[in-house]
Amino acid sequence: MNNKERWRLFLIVLTSLFLLGGSIYMWIFINRSVEDRKHRDLNLTLDKVEDTIRERLMTATGILYDLRGFLGVSELSPEKWRKYFEVSSLEENHPGSYSIAYVEMVRKENISVFEELMRNSGDSKYLNYMVFPKTGEDISYPIKYLHTTDPDVSVLLGFDFQYSDRTTAAFNQATLTGEPTLSELTHLDLIIPSSKKTGYEIVLPVYDRAASQIGFLGAWINSEGLMGTGVDMTGLRYSLFDGDEKIFTSGRLGGEPLTHINREVELLGHNFRVVLESDKMFKLSSFEENLPTIFLATIIVILLLWVLSVYAILSSRRRAVVLADLATRDLRKFKQAVDGVSDHVIITDPEGVIMYANKAAEEITGYGLVEMIGKKPSLWGGQMPKEFYENFWKTIKYDKRPFWGEIRNRRKSGELYEAEMRVSPILDDKENLLFFVGIERDLSKFRAIEKMKTEFISLASHQLRTPLSGVKWFVEMMLSGDAGKLTDLQTKYLSKIKESNEREIQLVNALLNVSRIESGRIIILSKKTNLKNLVESVVADIKVNIGGERNIEYDIGENLPEVEVDPDLIKHVYNNLLSNAVMYSNPGGKIEIKVYPKDGRILTEIKDNGIGIPKAEQPRVFEKFFRASNATKKVTEGTGLGLYLTKTIVESSGGKIWFTSAVGRGTTFKFWLPLKAVKGKMVEPEGGKII
């Protein structure tokens, strides 16, 4: 046996050992994947439960931050406290979900004066105000102001929270960190013996202008309120634990639980545990159940064939490299031109075997030139669905047309990445295929920049919301005469300020919705909805604002079936389309609304006889921040986000929206909604497009 043969034998043994090790790893992975698939549905539901709990706590935290921002610019009184919550629309947006309190730090010697000031506040519910229970501590923490619709919580006005060790610990932690802190589980029966409720306090310290702590803001959430509504629990049961204590259970099983999963969730520094149970034993098909065994048998056969085939492959490798080198000689001029570009460029023969690859291809995929020559792009590809590649090969090889699309590949390191790909067939004079030229552009940096933009918009919008709320509050107070009687000119100027501030608030809310959509945090809470009542309420609101300047007519069948949608989101769709119809119609114009069932769905048509949309600009109507040229001339203000959000909401609800328009003759928007809810549906990016 000569040295060359020994070397080949060594390669066979080494490669076989590597293949064996990889096969064992793959068998373990497949076996685990089979088990994971059995619990896939449970894990998806558990994700919804966790997201809902997280959203509830983050919403409460946001309310406290907004209120603290207001306290930093205003001296509180019972009347201002009440007006703040009227303006903030807390109960309208979150009915009965949160109880908000302001707790003041009062020294022992000042309690009598503090109680007398509260009794003389002018509000009847403070006539019998007193701090209770009395403690011997130097500082008390009584509830000074309270906003709640919970009858149990409403009796706590004046209650000293030092009486509860669990809330006192939260106060101390919030004082140390200056951040919102979640208390331990609190039982109201310690304070109100007749109450069986349990819940949590989110505590946020409040400071005066000298940066001295003057008290706390607190948001009470009932244990059951952590979940809210919108998660379908049919055939499932979930339980929420705080440590070893079960807080509450929801859902119903038809029998004994046959399978369950649990997950630890950390929120505001507090650990919860969610347990999800099902009375169904999730089973796969016979093939999937036996997939590990089938894979093991297949690998044994492959190993035997591999030992026989590797030697032949190694023998032919040198010849393949030589042939590839001969085939690329005619492409050297092209190589010199494209080696310096940043895009990944390869050339393959008609069967897809790589003949040439530039330096960018090596940098992006991680494979060297020698590793790529003689191989196919599946070396780093193969991550898309089978249908994608079938369509791809049909387009370039049989239709002989260029193909463009976005594709997902895997680098040599194992990292997945997305790329923009264009493959063009090169033909001779007789339309015969010579080779393919493929160009890919790595989209990783582009996606990262887009993510940074979305996060910046979200952060900036959150920061703008507090001062805008403060401006709205003070303008409302001045227009109400709280600062004295205003002249007509002052009232006019303040009204203009109010209108401008409202437009800014609408822009901030639109930007927040865009950031939620682009980060995948929009939640669809579907329930049966009467579209007739919903449309009538939207029309009534719009008619109040436009008076008799436009004629709005609607035709909605009396027996229109209810649909399962998120009423708040769909109301936004109708409000936006009708507002646009009113805005871009001339005074005296006519707006028609039709809602009717068709082909098992509900179809809506909103028609106006306004300015219309130029034909050249119609493909961009649903783009973010886009406004038609004639629209900007008629109405200078506008964000260009309304129709983008409208399209996303409709498609996320399982529907479709489109329109017809002609300049000067008006526009008709149409969209349909399914009768059944599409739970948690999100709009995925479009796949490959054929050019």
pLDDT given at position 687: 33
* Buried/exposed code over 452-481 (b: 16+ C-beta within 10 A; e: otherwise): eebeebbeebbebbbebbbbbbbbbbbbee
Residue 313: inside a domain, yes or no?
Answer: no
With a cut of 50, say whether residue 655 has pLDDT above it.
Answer: yes
Q: Of 559 and 159, which is predicted with more confidence?
A: 159
**Whether residue 552 is found in the same domain as residue 671:** yes
With a cut of 50, say whether residue 684 has pLDDT above it.
Answer: no
**Whether residue 217 is found in the same domain as residue 95:** yes
**Whether residue 564 is found in the same domain as residue 614:** yes
Q: 91-140 pLDDT, tens per residue?
A: 888 888 899 999 999 999 999 999 999 999 888 889 999 999 888 888 99
Average the pLDDT over 401-420 and give the result: 85
**Whether residue 424 is found in the same domain as residue 466:** no
**Whether residue 138 is found in the same domain as residue 183:** yes
DSSP letters for 223-247: TGGGT-S----TTEEEEEEETTEEE
pLDDT given at position 685: 32
Task: Please tell me whether the overall predicted TM-score, pTM, comes out greater than 0.85 for this model.
Answer: no
Q: Of 580 and 333, which is predicted with more confidence?
A: 580
Distance between CA atoms of residues 228 and 525, nearest Å: 10
Q: Return the structure tokens found at 521.
A: 């945090």
Q: Of 190 and 320, which is predicted with more confidence?
A: 190
Boundary (domain end) residue, out of 518, 550, 569: 518
Assign residue 654 a region (left: φ > 0; alpha: ψ between -120 and 50; beta: otherwise): left
Most confident of 123-132, 227-236, 295-304, 515-524: 123-132
Residue 14: inside a domain, yes or no?
Answer: no
Residue 635: inside a domain, yes or no?
Answer: yes
Which of these ranges, 273-282, 379-388, 401-410, 605-614, has the smallest mean pLDDT?
273-282
Residue 393: inside a domain, yes or no?
Answer: yes
**Whether residue 93 is found in the same domain as residue 199:** yes
pLDDT band at 363 (very low <50, low <70, confident <90, very high): confident
Per the CB < 8 A criterion, the answer to whether 354 and 320 are in contact is: no
Residue 269: inside a domain, yes or no?
Answer: no
Residue 132: inside a domain, yes or no?
Answer: yes
Domain span at 414: 339-442
pLDDT given at position 641: 74
Boundary (domain end) residue, out of 226, 258, 273: 226
**Whether residue 433 is found in the same domain as residue 479:** no
Long-range pairs for 326-329: beta carbons < 8 A, 24 or more residues apart: 327/355, 328/355, 328/356
With a cut of 80, say whether residue 473 has pLDDT above it.
Answer: no
pLDDT given at position 204: 94
Average the pLDDT over 439-453 and give the result: 67
* Domain of residue 560, CATH code: 3.30.565.10
pLDDT band at 514 (very low <50, low <70, confident <90, very high): low
**Whether residue 433 is found in the same domain as residue 532:** no
Per the CB < 8 A criterion, the answer to whether 141 and 162 are in contact is: yes
pLDDT given at position 100: 95
**Whether residue 632 is found in the same domain as residue 602:** yes
Average the pLDDT over 562-582 and give the result: 87
**Whether residue 571 is found in the same domain as residue 619:** yes
Residue 133: inside a domain, yes or no?
Answer: yes
What is the chain's mean pLDDT, rounded? Answer: 80
The number of folded domains in the chain is 4
